[in-house]
Amino acid sequence: RRKFPLYLIGYDPVGKVQRAASVGDLASIERLINCHGYHVNGQYTRRRKSLHYDCAHNHPDVVTLLLSKKASIDVQDDEGCTPLIKATQRGNVECITILLIQGANPHLRDLSGNTALHHAVSRDNTTIASIQCHP
């Protein structure tokens, strides 16, 4: 049976917002956005946005904050991964639930042709697969 890689390679934070997002520092993110003018849809290394980092590192409170600030929910990085795909690859149920409730498109495919549901099924994660089939 084929095993998939962890998919966290390259998700080391590169900027102030990404560093705060990767550790779930909600106060710092709010300050950076509100006081310093950081844009929630700013593009960083490999076309990754702050929402990708939050979903990869499992910080649902930050995901909620960024979505309330109009973060692009279905943005794809250089591998075609959306925040939903990234959260699914990492098994982050709370982030997945928030994204689906907020209207994330579960049918988008990464560059390998896989949707978030494909990633859930390939990892035998029935909880996540059922969430994506019945949000």
Q: Give the lowest-confidence range in 46-50, 53-57, 66-70, 74-78.
A: 46-50
pLDDT mean over 56-75: 94
Q: Which domains does the chain have, with CATH numbers?
A: 16-133 (1.25.40.20)
Contact between residue 121 and residue 89 where contact means Cβ atoms under 8 Å apart: no
pLDDT above 90: residue 5:
no
- Considering the chain, what is the average pLDDT of its residues? 85
What confidence category does residue 23 fall into, taking pLDDT thresholds of 50, 70 and 90?
A: confident
pLDDT mean over 59-85: 94
Q: What is the rounded CA–CA span in Å between residue 125 and residue 72? A: 26
Q: What is the rounded CA–CA span in Å between residue 31 and residue 27? A: 6
* Count of helix runs (H) and strand runs (E) in the chain: 8, 0
What confidence category does residue 123 fall into, taking pLDDT thresholds of 50, 70 and 90?
A: confident
Predicted TM-score (pTM) of the model is 0.84
Q: Give the lowest-confidence range in 17-26, 41-50, 57-66, 112-121.
A: 41-50
pLDDT mean over 30-56: 82
pLDDT mean over 44-59: 84
